Structure 1
Amino acid sequence: MSTYLLVHGAWHSGEVWDRVVPLLTAAGHRVLAPSLTGHGDTAHLLTPDVGLDTYVDDVTGVILAADLTDVILVGHSFAGLVVSSVANRVPDRIGHLVYLDAMVPVDGETAVDVMPITATLIEAAAASGTPWRIPPLPELPAPHGLFGVTDPDDRAWVRGMLVDEPVRAYRQPVRLDDPAAAAIPRTHIHCVGLEVDGITRRPVPATQPNGTPAQVRELRSGHDCMVTVPDELAALLRTLG
């Protein structure tokens, strides 16, 4: 049995993993998919003071409260910053890092550094009546839909869980200063085939921080692959356990 801790990306909640969790648990694995502060059932706790450090506290708290070890820690999208920071904080408890179509930072970087297009979201928020809140990205014309989700029922489900994101989360830098974290194996999963103009991912270096060859896998899917291809994603994640 492996332990998977699935961390949702910006604007979403732990609910977005609802199609993947039962597939992993049916295979005998332990799976946790919490909602970060200000999302899901804690949406009422969203304030200007919520930021990347809050999210790192959330996930680290889950690991410590449940005394989890050898965790397969999966971060989707923006949560690449979150899982990187968690691994830096409790490297002895992480068995594998998975960057799921995710931002991959280096020490001292913010979300804006990793993906500069996010600066336009902060600028738009600054010009609004609530400058500390960044609303979810809008739905795009087909074939992109809402974060790559095009089925009408699925779009409605995803839209129902989306909340604003605090600007502080995009402006806080990661701290990756524990050499022990570099030893953790990594896998990068890229969603391909429905790329959006203006959103680019960094190339994955050929060598992982631990000195082994990079592990990059691909899923034919839009960004929210846990919604559109949960079976394929779960099967891929099971190969890491």
Structure 2
Amino acid sequence: MTTYVLVHGAWGGGWKYARVADALRKRGHTVFTPTLTGQGERSHLLSGDINLTTHVTDILNVIRYEDLSGVVLAGHSYGGMVITAVADAIPEKIAALVYVDAFIPEDGQSLFDLNIPANTQMFMDRAGAVPGALAGLVIPPPPAAYFGVNAKDAPRVDALAAPQPLGCMIEKIRLTGAYRNVPKRIYLHGTVLPRESPFKPFYERAKAEGWEAHALACGHDIMLDKPEEMTEILDKAA
């Protein structure tokens, strides 16, 4: 059986993976769905000091303290930044990297470097409009419709989404290249989005580089829109 660590994206939480995690556990796998600092049930820890390094440390500590190895490490959206840095730090612990409609950074890049410029500007503007002590330090969540979330799940996504620390988006990742030693890489792309997708180029690059790549007819939150299909792909990832 396989050990999975599923990392959510911005404005999210481990709760987003509930259906996929339950399905994998029923198949006998071990599954961790950690929530990053300041998000989900840890939103009471929200701070302007949180950055990408904070979230990388979150996941490194899960793997360390749970004594995990042979991990299939999946990251959704912003989570692609996190899993790349984790795999770069401990490639010997990672059996496969799964990018779930996620950013794939190179050394020295931030998420804002990779995103569509109009999106980056919108997020900066939203951060600047936040009142109080966190003004300019966190980005309020866009509505679920922005990500093409299905109608059934959209109200819950809107209710549970937490502000994302700006530092996570602007910190430039530092990579040695050791993450390239992970033996298997997979990309999942949600093809139905009510706007230009910043993730399609990563999907196309993954295909061109010979990765296992899947295009799914759904919105950006694949784990909500296509949990059965995602479970099947993850089940065969190790």
- Normalised by the length of structure 2, the TM-score is 0.91
8 Å contact kept, 2:76–2:101: yes
Structure 2: give runs of 5+ residues left out of the alignment: none
Offset of residue 90 of structure 1? 1.1
1:108-152 deviation digits (Å, cap 9, x = unpaired): 10001111322331133124432111011124xxxxx35222324
Moved more, 16-25 or 120-129: 120-129
Q: Counterpart in 2 of 1:26?
A: 26
Amino acid across the alignment from 1:174: I
SS in 2 for 1:62: helix
Asked if 1:157 corresponds to 2:156, the answer is yes
8 Å contact kept, 1:37–1:46: yes
Task: State how 1:71-86 maps to structure 2 within 5 Å.
Answer: 71-86=71-86
Q: Relative to total residues, which structure has the larger helix share, 1 or 2?
A: 2
8 Å contact kept, 2:147–2:194: no
Q: Counterpart in 1 of 2:205?
A: 204
Q: Counterpart in 2 of 1:142?
A: none
Task: State how 1:107-126 maps to structure 2 within 5 Å.
Answer: 107-115=107-115, 116=117, 117-126=119-128
Offset of residue 65 of structure 1? 0.4
SS in 2 for 1:232: helix
Amino acid across the alignment from 1:111: L
Amino acid across the alignment from 1:31: V
1:137-191 deviation digits (Å, cap 9, x = unpaired): 124xxxxx35222324x222222220000111101011111x4321212111111
SS in 1 for 2:127: helix
Asked if 1:65 corresponds to 2:70, the answer is no
Offset of residue 220 of structure 1? 1.6
8 Å contact kept, 2:85–2:179: no
Structure 1: give runs of 5+ residues left out of the alignment: 140-144
Q: Counterpart in 2 of 1:9?
A: 9
Asked if 1:42 corresponds to 2:42, the answer is yes
Give me the whole-angstrom Cα distance separating, in 1, the residues matched to 2:146 and 2:5.
Answer: 24
8 Å contact kept, 1:20–1:234: yes
Moved more, 179-188 or 10-19: 179-188
8 Å contact kept, 2:206–2:213: no
Give me the whole-angstrom Cα distance separating, in 2, the residues matched to 1:44 and 1:59.
Answer: 19
SS in 1 for 2:63: helix
Amino acid across the alignment from 1:44: H
Q: Counterpart in 2 of 1:180?
A: 178
Q: Structure 1 pair 231/89, CA: closer, same or farther in 2 (3 Å)?
A: same
SS in 2 for 1:181: helix
Asked if 1:232 corresponds to 2:233, the answer is no
Give me the whole-angstrom Cα distance separating, in 1, the residues matched to 2:159 and 2:120.
Answer: 22
Aligned residues: 229
SS in 1 for 2:147: coil
8 Å contact kept, 2:81–2:111: yes
- Normalised by the length of structure 1, the TM-score is 0.90
Q: Structure 1 pair 222/206, CA: closer, same or farther in 2 (3 Å)?
A: closer
Q: Structure 1 pair 7/196, CA: closer, same or farther in 2 (3 Å)?
A: same
